[in-house]
Structure 1
Amino acid sequence: MNPALLGLAANPALPSHLIDRLIAIADEDVDTALAQRTDLTRTQIRTLADRSDETAVQLAYDGLLRPQDVDPAERPLAALALLDTGAGPAAWARHFAADPLVRHREGLAGCPGLPQDVVRRLVDDPDVRVVAELALRAPAGLAAALARHPHAEVRLSVAANEATPPRLLAALLTGEGLPPIEACRVCDQEEVPFVHARDCPRTDCALLSGDACDGSHQSAVHGVRWQALHNPATPAAAVARFADDPSALLREPVAAREGLPQPVYARLAGDPVPMVRAALAQNPSIGEDLIRRLAEDGGHDVRRSLAHHPHLPLDLLARLAAGTRLGSPLLPRIAAADATELAALAGSAEPAVRMLVAMRRDLPDALRDALADDRDAKVLKAIAPHPGLTEARLLAMLDVHGIHVAVRTATNPDATAPVLERLARQPGPGRKVFREIARHPNAPLPALLACLTDPRARPVAAARPELPGPLVVDLLTDEDERVMEAAAANPSLPVETMGALLS
């Protein structure tokens, strides 16, 4: 891969006649970059599509390739991509339904809006992978029929399909009213009983860790249930029946499911596996009594999950913020807080609570400015990117806490050129700020020049069109290939230099 050519392929200022020259010498990587351009001519698009399946598929999904540009016999993957976007003719669907390659029929089965005769043929396909792919997005009537398919892989897809009728999703959980499964991916390949070793040495093995079959297709049945329990169309009553299942992997989606009876949630709050209780802690359907019970839970991630509960009482939020590592997310309860609640939280004696409020980006001006005057560094780091902060306030924050708030200040959309220049001169080891300055739209030339001195920010700064043309030309010979590529993609690169790179 030539980094300069790869950069040129992405350069928005590259003239059309030079695009032609670049196409003539491009390798696969450059073709991929060229295919992402929005200014290609029809001839250029067809030329790129003729070069490789990967590029043709990309052009098809981007809406640049037309059916008349593709021969399905020569570029089957591109033709399938057009069918997948709804742009391919029905004749292509019939062609691929009879294709001897399974991967082509499987790709066809995932396409929407197929003619009914093609669907009927795919339902009867001899390869279960094709039928399973069809079942994944099948409409309700077809999904209902495929729920009775003898192979577990097809039922697995039906269980994941939200169009499957609820009564059949309930049946897939228990098997009641359905014929028994006759085959699974394990007994298709191995003599039963068989348990797939977790440290299987075979490089060509397609089985998953834990796959097992003793004739009852146990891992496949478990997989079907797992998919159905995660499907929001599965009736709540059917889901609730699995609250006491021996498998924690099946109890976890039950704990996360909304709309179950409170006694079910109460049982799950005592589950021996923390992962199940953590899933329960975020469930919007649990009542306040369970929320408060889970606030005392010392299990891994339970309290952290509870902090994300949308109806968390504010007094618990303060306790969780003080005693739990929450990171710095915008919590749902903070996002939903009204002005009065925000003001109360912003006045908390606990800095972690004030920090959580500062994560909002739509605070009232007075509250935003009050938090910008906070003396705690983590509060200032959270408020520093907030739009609307004045140049004076941003500079004052840097005066007090310097390197501790520098990176977040550089991400503020309203940071002015003087603020960014000040950041570029900031003493100390915090070089990460240069990457943020280099990508900030308000960065002035002196700040960008400073960014070029940092190895990690240099590739970002090299792409900025504010750099003078001669400097961009010099960067084409940089020892870092990322810098060379960025410089070649810089629209300030003189056209004559672009041409010279193609000579």
Structure 2
Amino acid sequence: MYVDAAFLAYHDKPERARLRGLARNAATPVDVLLRLLDHPEGVRPDVTRRPAWSDEAVDAVAAHPRPAVRAVLAEAVGASPEQRARLVDDPDRRVRWRLAEGPDRSRWAVAAPLPRWAYERLAGEGDDLMRDLLANWCRWTPADIRAALRTGAAADPSGEARNADGDAPLTRERAEELVRDESEWARTQAAADPALPADLVAVLATDPSPDVRLAVSMRPELSEEQPAAVDYHVAPADRLTPLDWVTETTDPDVLRRCVHSAHVALRRSSAYNPHLTPELVAVLAADEDHAVRLLLCENHPDVPGEVVLQTYLEAEVAGRGDLLDHPCFPRQGLASLADSPDPNARALVVLDPQAPAALIERLSHDPDPRVRCRMAADERLPLDRLLALFDDPETTEAAASNPNLPVDLMERILADALP
């Protein structure tokens, strides 16, 4: 992947790295925070990642004259629902829109970004875009408020169900046209259409396109044995669109069949289903396919902690950090990973609330910079070691986010980062 060298030279300069770290530091005094929010380097997105907000900081930002600054509080990951709700009557509707959308967090990071009364207030303000946000885009809107907002939605004027091709119900003539279509996409859509006649399903089962054959193999009417007769392939790294008929089923027999299926696509889709029983969660937690286990951890709160931990360590996807917020992710005992050959495991030691300061200090000398950075941000780190890491370009950003950073260094960061 190409990375612009000029951008990296600008981005990685210590004075800018420290400014980003300081923006995430929950211990910055309010006057420093306000100067960060107005800084020409534009570190507001980093400020939204502060792990905690004092009431004094909330008061200052909520009263700021600039809507763009107040919107930072609306999107603040570490602010409590009640703190963010201070903006529910903000005079600028763009701030209220940001408030409704909520922080960009993993599903496990917060239980509910706003109190219920705040959603009721936002839903009743008469703003059409706000109503649309709450009804269709905000994942945190209470179900009954969402349903009430959707009540007035326009019905399908045709009164007819739509098929995979986007037209009226599939006729025999149209089905035959799709099966013969030169477009691989059109044939793939036809292969997934539940209304496709069985004889045409059989035709597409031998289609030259692997995507078409895969779509045929995932049809809900097929028995457990029938997909094996279709030449389909799913690689471990393949990304598959979840199957609605699996993810949304409430039929325990259908769900059980999918969980135990030899077809990995059915097992991956079943990991999304909210109706999994503890027994079925246990089956998927032991699945040989890493993607099944990852999807299960991403969607279910009751996965055994050791499975969540191992899945995190094995994952190579960009969003694996979300698993650190999983309610079953084990924190007690992570200090035992201090001597692991895997630097990703050693970096987790900092999450153990009982890890002693001496161990944090020891790992701050780790040969891997990722481990040193995690230790540099931890408040158990001795001050002399924090200052040393602050002076190291590889760890200076993380050290600047440490809540024990002296205020005089915070002031220096602001001064050094001015254009």
Q: TM-score range by the shorter chain?
A: 0.5 to 0.7
Aligned to 1:164, what secondary structure does the other structure show? Answer: coil
**What letter is aligned with 2:391?**
T
Q: TM-score, normalised by structure 2?
A: 0.54
Q: 1:457 aligns with which of 371, 375, 386?
A: 371
Contact 2:390-2:400 at 8 Å conserved across structures: yes
Which whole-Å CA distance do the structure 2 matches of 1:169 and 1:470 have between them?
A: 68
Structure number with bigger Rg: 1
Structure 1: state its 5+ residue gaps: 94-107, 115-136, 142-162, 174-224, 362-381, 390-403
Aligned to 2:179, what secondary structure does the other structure show? Answer: coil
Partner of 1:299: 232
Q: Does 1:475 align with 2:411?
A: no
Q: Does 1:420 align with 2:335?
A: yes
Which whole-Å CA distance do the structure 2 matches of 1:42 and 1:301 have between them?
A: 53
Q: Aligned-pair distance for 1:484?
A: 2.0
Q: Aligned-pair distance for 1:3?
A: 2.7
Which runs of structure 2 are paired with 1:57-68 in the superposition (5 Å)?
65=87
Contact 1:468-1:492 at 8 Å conserved across structures: no
**1:484/1:497 Cα in 2 relative to 1: closer, same or farther (>3 Å)?**
same
Q: 1:432 aligns with which of 333, 344, 348?
A: 344
Contact 1:240-1:254 at 8 Å conserved across structures: no
Q: Does 1:4 align with 2:18?
A: yes
Partner of 2:360: 448
Which whole-Å CA distance do the structure 2 matches of 1:89 and 1:331 have between them?
A: 39
Which whole-Å CA distance do the structure 1 matches of 2:343 and 2:173 have between them?
A: 52
Aligned pairs, how many? 319
Aligned to 2:43, what secondary structure does the other structure show? Answer: helix
Q: Deviations over 1:438-460 (max 9, x none)?
A: 44555443443344322122222
**1:306/1:360 Cα in 2 relative to 1: closer, same or farther (>3 Å)?**
closer
Partner of 1:130: none
Which whole-Å CA distance do the structure 2 matches of 1:360 and 1:31 have between them?
A: 33
Q: Does 1:286 align with 2:286?
A: no
Q: Aligned-pair distance for 1:23?
A: 4.2
**1:266/1:311 Cα in 2 relative to 1: closer, same or farther (>3 Å)?**
farther
**1:56/1:169 Cα in 2 relative to 1: closer, same or farther (>3 Å)?**
farther
Q: Aligned-pair distance for 1:238?
A: 10
Aligned to 2:185, what secondary structure does the other structure show? Answer: helix
Contact 1:243-1:264 at 8 Å conserved across structures: no
- Identity, % of aligned pairs? 22
Which whole-Å CA distance do the structure 1 matches of 2:49 and 2:173 have between them?
A: 45
Q: Aligned-pair distance for 1:487?
A: 1.7
Which whole-Å CA distance do the structure 2 matches of 1:17 and 1:476 have between them?
A: 22
**1:383/1:484 Cα in 2 relative to 1: closer, same or farther (>3 Å)?**
same
Q: Aligned-pair distance for 1:275?
A: 0.7
Q: 2:306 aligns with which of 385, 408, 431?
A: 385
Which whole-Å CA distance do the structure 1 matches of 2:172 and 2:363 have between them?
A: 59
**1:329/1:299 Cα in 2 relative to 1: closer, same or farther (>3 Å)?**
closer
Which whole-Å CA distance do the structure 2 matches of 1:357 and 1:502 have between them?
A: 44
Which whole-Å CA distance do the structure 2 matches of 1:299 and 1:442 have between them?
A: 49
Q: Does 1:29 align with 2:34?
A: no
Which whole-Å CA distance do the structure 2 matches of 1:56 and 1:338 have between them?
A: 43
Partner of 1:49: 66
Q: Aligned-pair distance for 1:282?
A: 3.1
Partner of 1:274: 210
Partner of 1:178: none
The higher-RCO structure (CA 8 Å, 6+ apart) is 2
- Aligned alpha-carbon RMSD (Å): 5.7
Structure 2: state its 5+ residue gaps: 1-14, 76-83, 102-118, 134-149, 247-254, 298-302, 315-322
Q: Does 1:490 align with 2:411?
A: no
Q: TM-score, normalised by structure 1?
A: 0.46
**What letter is aligned with 1:4?**
R
**1:468/1:257 Cα in 2 relative to 1: closer, same or farther (>3 Å)?**
farther
Q: Aligned-pair distance for 1:32?
A: 3.2
Q: Aligned-pair distance for 1:462?
A: 1.6
Aligned to 2:42, what secondary structure does the other structure show? Answer: helix
Partner of 1:13: 27
Which whole-Å CA distance do the structure 1 matches of 2:260 and 2:346 have between them?
A: 40
Partner of 1:250: 186
Which whole-Å CA distance do the structure 2 matches of 1:34 and 1:340 have between them?
A: 41
Contact 2:74-2:95 at 8 Å conserved across structures: yes
Q: Deviations over 1:431-484 (max 9, x none)?
A: 33323334455544344334432212222222222223333233222212xx22
Partner of 2:143: none
Contact 2:191-2:216 at 8 Å conserved across structures: yes
